[in-house]
Amino acid sequence: QQPVQSPQAVILREGEDAVINCSSSKALYSVHWYRQKHGEAPVFLMILLKGGEQKGHDKISASFNEKKQQSSLYLTASQLSYSGTYFCGTDPPNGGSQGNLIFGKGTKLSVKP
Amino acid sequence: DTGVSQNPRHKITKRGQNVTFRCDPISEHNRLYWYRQTLGQGPEFLTYFQNEAQLEKSRLLSDRFSAERPKGSFSTLEIQRTEQGDSAMYLCASSSPGGTGANVLTFGAGSRLTVL
């Protein structure tokens, strides 16, 4: 049931773009995206509910394809502050969004000057 | 509000000892969650409360783990007879349903447990 994230790691130069993918074998109600910097707590970025909507947060946006059971996180014109590990979290198969998320293993993003 | 507070931040114990962690959630949040995170992995759900009621407990959680949330405010997570495999970061999060009905988690900084 654990969602699969790809790639596992990515290295960017400042200003470059990146895409992080999150796929599930189960039907999804929602997908949550978090960023965690080394030694810190995960910080919420955005939530996408089923319906294929796309959301944005500054230069970070995401899409959710309910039929394909996958979500993608888009980082545009990356900044040094974007460095960290990105996790997607999905709801268990019993439906609803109760907060008892199943997280992927994460994608480590490193932005270099 | 200072966010989700967890204590202690670090705990080193010997195998077989009991440990207890405390979490103080954001005051207006009615839900409180415990997750565990090991190096290189995403957070793993353990249990959650709505007010004082424990609504779900992961099947992965052994009987040595117990969590309480008396009066629906702070919560404690106790691990009895610790084992080396319990070494991890224990994360607490809180939430309240938003306008969409979805629960967005605010995590605390975590309590790191090392079992020798």
**What is the residue-level pLDDT of chain B in tens, covering all 116 positions?**
579 999 999 999 999 999 999 999 999 899 999 999 999 999 999 999 999 999 999 987 889 999 999 988 999 999 999 999 999 999 999 998 766 667 889 999 999 999 99
- 3-state SS of A28-76 is CCEEEEEEECCCCCCEEEEEEECCCCEEEECCEEEEEECCCCEEEEEEC
**DSSP assigned state of A38:** T
Q: Does B93 touch chain A (CB under 8 A)?
A: yes
Question: pLDDT-based confidence at A95, cuts 50/70/90?
Answer: low
Q: What is the DSSP letter of B104?
A: P
A104 contacts in B (CB within 8 Å)? Answer: 42
Size of interface A-B (CB pairs under 8 A): 65
**Under 8 Å between Cβ of A75 and A42:** no
Q: Which of B30, B91, B95, B104 to mutate to test binding with chain A, by most A CBs within 10 Å of its CB?
A: B104
Within a 10 A sphere around the Cβ of B8, how many other Cβ atoms? 13
Q: What is the arithmetic mean of pLDDT over A87-101?
A: 81
CA A110/CA B91 separation, integer angstroms: 24
- Structure tokens belonging to residue B46: 């353990």
Residue A83: per-residue pLDDT: 97
Q: Distance between CA B85 and CA B27 in Å, rounded?
A: 33
Cβ neighbours of B93 in A, within 8 Å:
99
Six-digit token string for A56? 């944005």
Q: How far apart are CA B33 and CA B30, in angstroms?
A: 10
> What is the distance between the alpha carbons of residues B91 and B4, in angstroms, rounded to a whole number?
10
Per cent of chain A over pLDDT 70 is 90
φ, ψ for residue A82, nearest 5 deg: -80, -15
State residue A52's pLDDT score. Answer: 54
pLDDT score of A30: 86
Counting DSSP H helices and E strands in chain B, the numbers are 0, 11
Identify whether A42 is preceded by a cis peptide bond (ω within 30 of 0): no
> Do B106 and A103 lie within an 8 Å CB cutoff?
no
- State which H helix or E strand residue A103 sits in: strand A102-103
Q: What is the pLDDT of residue A91?
A: 82
Show residues of chain A in contact with B105, CB under 8 Å. 32, 34, 42, 44, 99, 101
Q: Tell me which of B86 and A27 has the higher pLDDT.
A: B86
Q: Tens digit of pLDDT for each residue in A32-73?
A: 999 999 989 999 998 888 765 666 667 899 988 888 889 999
Q: CB neighbours of A89 closer than 8 A, spacing ≥ 6?
A: A3, A31, A32, A33, A34, A101, A102, A103, A104, B42, B43
Q: How confident is the model at residue A29 (pLDDT cuts 50, 70, 90)?
A: confident
- CB atoms under 10 Å from CB of B40, counted, come to 10
Task: Please give the C-alpha separations between residue A42 and each of A106, B37, B65, B84, B93, in angstroms, as whole numbers.
Answer: 11, 11, 23, 24, 10
